[in-house]
């Protein structure tokens, strides 16, 4: 490795939205994350919808309309 071209590497505190904090190593001093191993559904075994910027709700609204239209079309035939 070349000297003096790499950013400084030090201990970092990672803050999760669930309140969990842990130490890691990085080039930044603090990292904020939305999901960690303490609250991720894969590790907890609990189903949890992770909604990023309302995407899940928009998806549901969009396909509710399509579902209602197809039900109405079947009734009218």
The overall pTM is greater than 0.75? no
Name residue, tokens 């803050």: 15
Report the domain count for the chain: 1
With respect to residue 18, please indicate whether it lies within any of the assigned structural domains: yes
Give the pLDDT confidence score for residue 74 in this predicted structure.
61
Q: The domain spanning residue 20 has which CATH number?
A: 4.10.80.400
With respect to residue 40, please indicate whether it lies within any of the assigned structural domains: yes
27-57 confidence digits (pLDDT tens): 988 888 888 877 766 666 666 666 666 777 7
Annotate 49-59 with b (16+ C-beta within 10 A) or e (fewer): eeeeeeeeeee
pLDDT band of 76, cuts 50, 70, 90:
low
With respect to residue 77, please indicate whether it lies within any of the assigned structural domains: no
Q: Per-residue pLDDT for 73 more than 60?
A: yes
With respect to residue 35, please indicate whether it lies within any of the assigned structural domains: yes
Q: Domain span at residue 19?
A: 10-70
C-alpha 53/C-alpha 36 separation (Å) is: 18
Give the pLDDT confidence score for residue 12 in this predicted structure.
92
Identify which has the larger pLDDT, 57 or 72: 57
């Amino acid at each position: 490795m070349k000297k003096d071209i790499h950013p400084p590497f030090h201990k970092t505190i990672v803050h999760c939205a669930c309140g969990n904090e842990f130490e890691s190593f990085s080039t930044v001093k603090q990292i904020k994350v939305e999901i960690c191993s303490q609250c991720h559904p894969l590790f907890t075994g609990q189903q949890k919808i992770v909604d990023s910027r309302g995407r899940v709700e928009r998806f549901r609204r969009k396909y509710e309309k399509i579902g209602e239209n197809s039900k109405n079309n079947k009734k009218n035939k």
